[in-house]
Amino acid sequence: MLSGEEFGRLFETFERSAFRLETLAVYDVEDERAEFEAFLAGKPMPPEWHDNPWVRSMTDRGKSVSRVHVLRSPLTDYLRYELAAYPGNITAGESIGIIDLSEMEVSGLPDHDFWLFDDADVYRMHYTESGRFMGAELLPSGRLAGYQRYRDIASAHAVPFAEYWSTHH
């Protein structure tokens, strides 16, 4: 199981593509706590919200970064916060789709998060019940095809973020 720092290094070394499936309603990220509280208080968000430098560091090198977030309305406070940051990720080049399970039924998806790098390595993300990251598990190559299918199912059913946000924001 890779720690947060070890896992973070993968974003410097993947060559072509990184895809994430997100499934949690709350992520407990220590580095986001002050910003999350500011968001809830209605305070302005930092400049990087308008063009995410972390995403830009990958897309400026020609790498593809994408995600599908599977959620259920009504949105938790955390999801309102996270989705409000997505336009800056999109400006930086990330492709984001939403599957709202309160509006559509999609079968064949896992109930956990994962990252798929270069269509070759899949990491299952492990979190506590409160959404705190515990580690990333590199899955055996024999499980790759299943996770590629999950990506394809999610991508086929996802509504582009801008379309989702225009009707839910």
Which range marks the domain in which residue 72 is found?
Answer: 4-168
At a CB cut-off of 8 Å and minimum separation 6, what does 15 contact?
63, 118
The count of domains in the chain is 1
Sign of the four-CA dihedral 14, 26, 36, 3: negative
pLDDT digits (tens, 9 = 90+) for 27-76: 999 999 999 999 999 999 998 899 999 999 999 999 999 999 999 999 99
> 0.85 exceeded by the pTM?
yes
Q: What is the CATH number of the domain that holds 62?
A: 3.30.870.10
Q: How far is CA 17 from CA 4, 10, 62, 119, 127, in A?
A: 19, 11, 9, 7, 23
